[in-house]
A and B are shown apart, each in its own frame.
Chain A
Amino acid sequence: MSVAILNASGCLDALTAPDVARELDAFVTKTITPEPREGNRPVRIAETESGMLNSIGLQGPGIDALLSEVLPALAAHGLRVWVSVGGFSVADYAVTCERLDGRDDVDVIELNLSCPNVEEAPESQAEIVAGCRGRTAKPLYAKLSPATWDIAETARAVVSAGADGLSLVNTMRGMALDPVTLRPKLGRGTGGYSGPALRPIALACVAACAQAVEVPIVGMGGVSTGLEALELVAAGASVVSLGTVLFADPSAPGRIRAELFDEAVARGYADPLDARGVANR
């Protein structure tokens, strides 16, 4: 298995774009919560000079509809599925993990511990992971925010609590103002910042965590080319996720996969995975 390419949670709907999802090694769902959620009021997106802000607010059908409708539909498309799980307390996360536990149509559970667009759970990220660990045998990946002074410390804590892998990184909270009114462009005021500006931050986080823990790392943040994907691998990722680039280019998965191999070969690596961690040596 070479470097797998996924979508970042919330950046693709496999049911409206199945041909795009089939180009991925696995499809990551939009974050699911115990109850259905309408999400935040518009305006929800704004482009900035070197990225974009989103304030979707975990819109979704809730776990019941995911289990009864969404997962069977995804399976009908022949997709491998990672489910992104969110919530507002340890209990929210744990109950959702428990309900996903027995499902053959779920490969991995990714815990969204870091959505910048909703209120956070009061417990620590490690407490949430520990609460979920007791409820499922599925691989658990912890998705962390880059907005922390020492992400390696968080990585060690969530791995100690039972995380099998890390997803690095989520968006960072940002704001954009309307140039005429000087009021926030987004309805909620702030949103998650993604795109090219996030890439150096993601690289630093992946490198820091790769040197702190032994678990697999899914790298993401501003990747739009194969070389940029290879850089995340060099920093320590073994899986790369695509986010904002999918909005502009639905052909990105196939294109970036081909570019990734070419860029690795051009640097003397038979496989992109052979470059894993070279930035940290």
Chain B
Amino acid sequence: MSEPALRERAAELRVTGTETVGLYTLLRVEAGPIAPGRPGQFFMLRPPGHVLPRPMSLCLHTDGELCFLIDPIGPGTRALCAMSAGETLHVLGPLGNGFDLDVPRPLLVGGGIGIAPLPYAAQVLGEVPAILGFRTSLHAEAAGLLPGALVVVEPELVTSLLPPGPGDVLACGPEPMLEAVRRLVPDAQLAWEAPMACGYGACYGCVVEIEGHLQRLCVAGPVLRAA
């Protein structure tokens, strides 16, 4: 299905509130005219006072709200986490290619802030197994967004929870985790991350090496097949 024109995917949305989830923040906004898209797609959120927006995947879609899980690691993400109810947030999306959910035996695999798109994937898929890994038990509080998930904390790694014959792996997490999953599950769908200025193919800032060439992750991904 073709998506609406880019300009129709942009809107000023009203922030309805924020919640602390372990060391992360869940930012909630009224969806307005913006569609939630497919899990693994992303949205560009413009932090107040910043020149560039930040790419975020949708974490939850509930009651006409879009919720984004954000790790406040820099000035932009901190500004997003500091927004309060009633403020407006410029949102562009959904963008990029999400997960292919039409698979027989999905297994969600997440690491750290990379769990962000998985709760929405679980909403769409219904009951689905999930395995998650975090740096600390404080970070692991975010696992509450995926009830029933198996959780490990470092030094144990999430790949230790991968069962033999893991099924159709849908993974998002830090690069070393994705590389490890790629080695173990050659047909996994992996959601990657890169710094982006625009999210829609304009800036060429987000290139990653795909099949031996530098390609724009926002256009070719962010979900790519492992092999």
**A interface vs B, CB < 8 Å?**
10-13, 15-17, 19-20, 23, 30, 38-39, 41-48, 50-52, 54, 56, 59, 195-196, 244, 246-251, 254
Contacts and interface: CB of A to CB of B under 8 A. Distances in A.
Contacts of B53: 247-248
A160 B206 CA distance: 40
Contacts of A56: 203-205
Q: Which 5 A-B pairs have the closest CB atoms?
A: A16-B201, A45-B205, A247-B198, A19-B5, A247-B197
Interface in B88-117: 90, 92
A195 B5 CA distance: 25
Nearest to A30: B204
Contact of A54 (B46, B76, B197): B197
B51 to A, nearest CB: 5
Contacts of A54: 197, 203, 205
A20 B7 contact: yes
Nearest to A59: B204
Given A45-B197, A249-B90, A11 B205 contact: no
A21 B196 CA distance: 20
A178 B208 CA distance: 20
Contacts of A47: 50-52, 76, 197
A5 to B, nearest CB: 15
Contact of A16 (B52, B206, B213, B219): B219
A152 B203 CA distance: 30
Contacts of B202: 11-13, 16-17, 246-247, 250
B51 A248 contact: yes
Interface of B: 5-7, 10, 44, 46, 50-53, 76, 90, 92, 194-198, 200-208, 213-214, 219
28 contacts: A10-B204, A11-B203, A13-B201, A15-B201, A16-B200, A16-B201, A17-B201, A17-B202, A30-B204, A38-B214, A39-B214, A45-B52, A47-B52, A47-B197, A48-B51, A54-B203, A56-B205, A59-B204, A59-B214, A244-B51, A244-B52, A244-B197, A246-B202, A247-B198, A247-B202, A248-B44, A250-B200, A251-B7
A195 B50 CA distance: 11
A39 B204 CA distance: 9
A48 B205 CA distance: 15
A251 B10 contact: yes
A15 B92 CA distance: 18
Nearest to B194: A42
Contacts of A250: 6-7, 10, 92, 198, 200, 202
Nearest to A39: B214
Nearest to A179: B74
Contacts of B50: 47
Contacts of B51: 47-48, 50-52, 195-196, 244, 248
B10 A44 contact: no
Contacts of A17: 6, 200-202
Contacts of A30: 204
Contact of B52 (A13, A41, A52, A59): A52
Nearest to A58: B204
B29 to A, nearest CB: 17
Given A16-B200, A248-B52, 16 more contacts: A17-B201, A38-B213, A39-B204, A39-B207, A39-B214, A42-B207, A44-B195, A44-B204, A47-B50, A51-B51, A56-B204, A56-B205, A59-B204, A59-B214, A247-B52, A248-B53
A250 B9 CA distance: 10
Contact of B6 (A20, A48, A59, A196): A20
A214 to B, nearest CB: 33
Contacts of A39: 204, 207, 214
A51 B92 CA distance: 20
Interface centre among A23, A30, A50, A246 (most CB of B within 10 A): A246
B62 to A, nearest CB: 27
Nearest to B75: A47
B219 to A, nearest CB: 6
Contacts of B76: 47
Contacts of B92: 250
Given A47-B51, A52-B51, A59-B214, A248 B195 contact: no
